[in-house]
Amino acid sequence: MTRSTALVCAVGGAFGYGIGSVLQAAGARRVRRTRQVVAHPLYLAGLVADLVGWLLSLAALRRLPVYQVQATAAGSLAVTVVAARLLWRSPLRRLGGAAVVVTTACLAIIAAGADPRSAPAVTYPVVVGLAAGAVAVGVAALACARRRWPGVHAALAGAAFAVCALCARALPLPPHALDHPPHTVAVLAATPVSWALVVSGAVGTMSYAHALRLGDAGAVTAVLWGVEVVGGATVGFWALGDAVRPGWALPTVLAILGTVAASAVLATAAPAPEPHPQACPQDAPM
């Protein structure tokens, strides 16, 4: 895969995530119990959009560093803001418009400074660390499952999706994987990284659904992206050999932080639609 194709995949993933967030938020606000969220048609449609976005991001991660793909994915909030305005006529404040411009500029800096490399060959300690991270975030999510802490659930979702992205980057695909699908599937099924990817993805999905059900969609999404981008970028630099071009380190770090800050603003600029008057009484049990 060429660098330009990988960039197209990363941007396409951002559009998938953005549309998915709109649909998931709409579905989550129309049910009484968290377990009912995943059965709502709007939420299921959002999951399909998320799946498309995730698959495109997965492809991009084979060629681009984690921080670039994750920061681009965080730009999906700009898509969410535009979609919310078109679908629900949500007003776009000047601050939100400025955040869209900042996000675009930061992503341009990150794209220019990124050092594109193929996915690295990971060491055994890294594999163990990724598997342990998936287990740890899963245990933490189970421990907090009955707590009405939307911020905590959003942070856990962000951590889980960061682990998922790191696993996708580190996934040991054999040479010419597409030429021998059965062999490729057998290789992937035998590595802990694949299972860590599946577990962390499932934990992230459920934690995000729980957070959307309990809290404000904007604040929840902002926390998720903040943890996911910063956490994924940090571990990517430290453990997976992600790098920037010479002389671009400071601009890239500032652009990553700028993307996170703009994401927080954009998250509050795209509120979820009001739930149906009879669909979600405030005193309903979880």
What is the DSSP code (8-state) at residue 178?
Answer: G
Question: Is residue 180 predicted with pLDDT exceeding 60?
Answer: no
Listed in sequence order, the residues at least 6 apart from 64 whose beta carbon sits closer than 8 Å to its beta carbon are 3, 6, 7, 10, 114, 116
Check if the beta carbon of residue 76 is closer than 8 Å to that of residue 21. yes
121-151 in b/e form (b: 16+ CB < 10 A) is: ebeeebbebbbebbbebbebbeebeeeeebb
The pLDDT tens digits for 65-121 are 888 898 888 888 777 777 767 776 666 677 777 887 888 888 889 888 887 766 666
Backbone angles phi and psi of 118, in degrees to 5? -65, 160
The overall average pLDDT reported for the chain is 79
- For 69, residues 6+ apart whose C-beta sits below 8 A from its C-beta are 10, 13, 57, 60, 61, 165
Segment among 44-53, 58-67, 190-199, 216-225 with least mean pLDDT: 216-225
**Of 242, 240, 167, whose CA–CA distance to 203 is shortest?**
167
Give residue 176's pLDDT band: very low, low, confident or very high (50, 70, 90): very low
CA-based end-to-end distance of the chain: 45
Structure-block tokens of residue 124: 């055994």
Cβ-proximal residues to 147 (8 Å cutoff; 6+ apart), any chain:
none
pLDDT at 170: 83
Radius of gyration of the chain (CA): 18
Instruction: Label residues 231-268 b or e (16+ Cβ within 10 Å = b).
Output: bbbebbbebbbbbbeeebeebbbebbebbbbbbbbbbb
pLDDT at 280: 37
What's the gap between Cα 189 and its chain centre? 23
Confidence at residue 251, expressed as pLDDT on a 0 to 100 scale: 92
